[in-house]
Amino acid sequence: MAEVQGVNLEEQERVAALYAWERRLQRLGAVYIAGVDEAGRGPLAGPVTAAAVILPPGLFIAGLNDSKRVSPARRRQLAVIIKEKSLAWAVGWASVKEIDCLNIMVASRWAMWRALTALPVKPDHVLVDGFKLPGFPVPQTPLVGGDALSASIAAASILAKVARDDLMEAYDAVFPGYGLAENKGYPTPGHRRALARLGPSSLHRLSFTPLLPGPSRDSLKNGE
């Protein structure tokens, strides 16, 4: 491992360890390894978002980690670096209507499919966070908790989270009163109070029943 000036050895070793799955696949002949992850399974409002990323082998990005372990400000910084230094990246979405019609798990898979098929470089292996994508025409490896185990999935988790957060902040002006810029659609107490006062908007997932009042069974079962 080449030393990176100004970065402590512990951080270099931590990030290098995130490439264990990528290195294993490279030894088996894979060249373009995509990581894919989603954000937004748990919220009461808004689409589910997925991102796919192909990183150069062993690229060191200080602070690269599962998006849930990174502050919002640092996530945005990392997203810029990932987009600049990755071999390819793409974002995919599944709408509220698709979530309500198909269920959140199927919609999440569709978002992942869309992110992967939008990549400008075709992957020859995919590392998927959590579960396989049935029928996807590329060899894949599902990794439970993959955003903490794979550099590619960690990078995808950051892009997906930042893309969705940006969208929900924009929606705050379109659907005022729900605090979407702060809660991003998640079932916070303030969001639930707003729902009790205003009722659900067209951005809310009516299949997450009972949406009002009390906790959403789907969001608690399937959420982040």
The band of 208, judged by pLDDT with boundaries at 50, 70 and 90, is confident
Average pLDDT, the chain: 90
Number of domain units in the chain: 1
User: Taking 70 as the threshold, does the pLDDT of residue 174 lie above it?
Assistant: yes
Residue 37 belongs to a domain = yes
155 within domain boundaries? yes
Q: Are 129 and 157 in contact (CB under 8 A)?
A: yes
In a domain, 15, yes or no: yes
Q: Which long-range contacts (CB under 8 A, 24 or more apart) does 161-165 make?
A: 161/39, 161/49, 161/67, 161/75, 162/67, 162/75, 162/76, 162/79, 163/39, 163/49, 163/51, 163/91, 164/39, 164/40, 164/46, 164/47, 164/48, 164/49, 165/72
For residue 165, what pLDDT is reported? 97
Domain of 106 in residue numbering reads as: 9-222
Give a yes or no: residue 2 inside a domain: no
Q: How confident is the model at residue 7 (pLDDT cuts 50, 70, 90)?
A: low
- The residues facing 91 across adjacent strands are 51
State which of 5-14, 125-134, 200-209, 212-221 shows the largest mean pLDDT: 125-134
- The pair of structure tokens assigned to 105 is 């798990």
Alpha helices in the chain (DSSP H): 9-17, 20-27, 72-85, 96-102, 104-117, 151-174, 180-183, 189-198, 217-222
Does 43 sit behind a cis peptide bond, omega within 30 degrees of 0 on the bond before it?
no
Q: Is residue 187 part of a domain?
A: yes
Would you say residue 221 has pLDDT above 50?
no
Q: Which of 54-63, 73-82, 207-216 has the lowest mean pLDDT?
A: 207-216
Lowest mean pLDDT among 148-157, 165-174, 214-223: 214-223
Query: Is 116 within a domain?
Result: yes
DSSP 8-class letter at 55: P
Residue 4 inside a domain? The answer is no
- pLDDT reported for residue 210: 56
Distant-in-sequence, close-in-space partners of 21: CB < 8 Å, separation ≥ 6: 127, 141, 143, 149, 150
Residue 218 has what pLDDT? 39
For residue 36, the cross-strand partners are: 52, 128
pLDDT for 216: 40
Confidence bin at 124 (pLDDT 50/70/90): very high
Under the banding of pLDDT at 50, 70 and 90, the label for residue 209 is low
Query: Please, which pLDDT band fits residue 217 given cuts at 50, 70 and 90?
Result: very low
Q: With pLDDT > 90 as the criterion, what percentage of the chain qualifies?
A: 86
CA distances from 212 to 174, 196, 208, 222 (A): 21, 7, 9, 18
Which residues make Cβ contacts (< 8 Å) with residue 125, sequence separation at least 6? 25, 30, 32, 33, 34, 138, 139, 140, 141
Q: Does residue 1 lie in a domain region?
A: no
Residue 93 C-alpha from the chain's centroid: 10
List, for residues 22-32, the tens digit of each pLDDT value: 999 999 999 99
CATH for 49: 3.30.420.10
**β partners of residue 129:** 143
Tell me if 35 sits within 8 A of 156, measured CB to CB: yes
Strands 140-143 and 125-129: parallel
From CA 157, how far away is CA 66, in angstroms rounded? Answer: 6
Question: Where does the pLDDT of residue 6 fall: very low under 50, low under 70, confident under 90, or very high at 90 and above?
Answer: low
Residues 78, 87, 138, 103: is their CA dihedral positive or negative?
positive
